[in-house]
Amino acid sequence: MLTKYGTDNIIVMLLVGAILVALPYFITNRIVGAISIALGVLLIVFTFVFFRDPDRIIPDIAKEDQSVLLSPADGKVVEIVNEIENEYIKDSVTRVSIFLSPLNVHVNRSPASGVVKFLKYKKGEFLPAYVPKSSELNEQSKIGVENEYGKVFFKQITGMVARRIVYDIKEGDTLNSGDKFGMMKFSSRMDVSFSPNTKLDIKVGDKVVGGETVIGKLVK
């Protein structure tokens, strides 16, 4: 299944791919024709890989317990740091940063159940998403959710290749853990911040799956 968040890109990319595959029927140079077909097939395959939206099995514990935090994205945990978050939580937090390669699923899911209390889009730079400073400087969406166990703050962050962020939520919406809410187009990064008292179940270097991997449990 392909994601609805990429419909515009999917149409364009598949159309371009089809044109490249068909181009050799209108030219006589066999080498150019072979290259055109190869590029067209690669573009079509990449489109289906990048914009895939596989079903995910949300853990029962996350459905039953609002203290459970799920990974909001597929990828690799590249940072776990303690810092001060000044926009939404406005206190000391633990931040988990997840790097997504172009081959990861890029559909994003809510890490927690709760009400969207904060939503802001920030224009910025396009540093490589694995660079720590990208968390502060790159273009990003900022989303804050609150439930009975506290506040959770998460960001969709563009990378050097990723230039577009998509989300379909607004302040006041209610999210359940694992709900799809948007995507980042091409390689990118997601940060999740929460109380430093949270019991973590992941470490730097771990591979995580959006909507399935439990990253921790909030403590009141």
Query: How high is the pLDDT of residue 103?
Result: 86
Domain that holds residue 212: 60-217
- Looking at the structure, tell me whether residues 80 and 25 fall in a common domain: no
- Looking at the structure, tell me whether residues 80 and 172 fall in a common domain: yes
In a domain, 55, yes or no: no
Q: Is-catalytic flag, 188?
A: yes
- Looking at the structure, tell me whether residues 93 and 67 fall in a common domain: yes
- Looking at the structure, tell me whether residues 84 and 117 fall in a common domain: yes
- Looking at the structure, tell me whether residues 18 and 117 fall in a common domain: no
Encode pLDDT of 131-181 as tens digits. 666 667 678 899 999 999 999 999 998 876 656 789 999 999 999 999 999
Whole-number average pLDDT of the chain: 91
Catalytic residue among 36, 188, 193, 195: 188
- Looking at the structure, tell me whether residues 146 and 194 fall in a common domain: yes
- Looking at the structure, tell me whether residues 100 and 43 fall in a common domain: no
d(CA 114, CA 84): 22
d(CA 215, CA 201): 5
Q: 188: Cβ–Cβ under 8 A, 6 or more apart, which residues?
A: 100, 106, 129, 156, 157, 158, 159, 162
pTM: 0.87
Query: How high is the pLDDT of residue 180?
Result: 96
- Looking at the structure, tell me whether residues 113 and 171 fall in a common domain: yes
- Looking at the structure, tell me whether residues 40 and 88 fall in a common domain: no
Residues 95-112 have a mean pLDDT of: 93
